[in-house]
Amino acid sequence: MYKRITLFCFFITLGAITQAQNFEAGIFMGASNYMGDLPGEHVDYDKSSLSVGFFLKYNVTEYLSARVGYTQGRISGDDQFSTDESGRKQRNLHFESKIKEINILAECHFLAFVFDGERPLISPYVFGGIAGFHFNPKANINGELVALQPLGTEGQNLEGGPDKYGLYQIAIPAGIGTEIKVGSVAKIGVELGIRKTFTDYLDDISSVYPDIEAMADADPLSASLSYRTPEYDSALAETNPVGNIRGNSSAKDWYGFAGLSFTFNISALGELGGGPGIYNPF
């Protein structure tokens, strides 16, 4: 349903602006990654995954553009890539999740779209805005991917446990980019953006271990996916690690997208070869 609403809004908006000036449409392709409790020491570039998206942009002034877009990617993390000294390998947790984001952004360009009557070759910019996104962390057990949020791996399903986290959240995007002109109506761009979130559960890890024994009585699968040290080394496992640190609750999780974009001026497409009436995208 979320994806259908996004596509419907995109095509309705596209149909409404095709005849307008200063509007552009573009596609994005790149990589997605995240920073959180897995592995937690740094951004693991080996865990970057493909991300794609599309957007519509309106050039408000020569230096300012507004855009709305949809971007989708995948994030993941795994304790097996941690160092032995960190103790995270023994924790033995992992996750993967799709990120589906709708964003509204403002681009502030350092060079005007029209510069002394000539198009600059390169137009660098910074951007920021607001985004809504959906995520759904999953983990592998016995060869099957299982959604973690319904299981309440930090005791959300136990009496007196914390509230379940929502799978729809708000983020604050920010980043940098640059656009390079290609002909008279198209641009190729490079962009790097991060997203500050207000949740610590992108990876389903936040605070401490719940009462594993009580959890095992209610739902053995929840207990197994909450405390996975026994799978790593049974000699290191405790009977019940309740209250032991499972994650860092003092810092929220982040995610980001980086990649290439191809943008073209919608209204100018019908004017190719039309001489001076062609819109100048820079």
Q: Give a yes or no: residue 234 inside a domain.
A: no
94, 139 contact by CB (below 8 A): yes
pLDDT score at 17: 43
Residue 162: cis peptide before it, omega within 30 degrees of 0: no
Residue 88 in any domain: the answer is: yes
Which residues have C-beta within 8 Å of that of residue 108, sequence separation ≥ 6? Answer: 63, 64, 125, 126, 127
Q: Tokens 């795994």 — which residue?
A: 78
Q: What is the pLDDT of residue 152?
A: 97
Where do we find the tokens 């100018």? Answer: 268
Residue 228 lies in a domain: no
Mean pLDDT of 27-47: 81
Among candidates 53, 55, 54, 57, which has minimal Cα distance to 21?
57
CATH number for the domain that contains residue 271:
2.40.160.20
> Does some domain include residue 213?
no
Query: What is residue 62's predicted lDDT score, i.e. its pLDDT?
Result: 83
Structure confidence by residue, pLDDT tens digits, 245-263: 999 999 999 999 999 999 9
Q: In a 3-state reduction of DSSP, which class is residue 84? A: helix
- Written as one string, the DSSP assignment of 96-162 is EEEEEEEEEEEEEESS-SSBTTB--SEEEEEEEEEEEEE---EEEETTEEEESGGGTTTTTTSTTPP
In a domain, 114, yes or no: yes
**Model confidence pLDDT, tens digit, residues 146-160:** 999 999 999 999 999
Residues 223-251 have pLDDT tens digits of 999 999 999 999 999 999 999 999 999 99
In a domain, 143, yes or no: yes
Counting the structural domains of the chain, the total is 1
- Domain extent for 114: 2-17+25-206+252-277
Question: What value does the mean pLDDT of the chain take?
Answer: 86
Residue 245 falls within a domain, yes or no?
A: no
Residue 231 lies in a domain: no
Percent of the residues in the chain that have a pLDDT greater than 90, as a whole number: 66
Quote the tokens at residue 115.
Answer: 């510069």
Q: How confident is the model at residue 12 (pLDDT cuts 50, 70, 90)?
A: very low
pLDDT-based confidence at residue 176 (cuts at 50, 70, 90) = very high
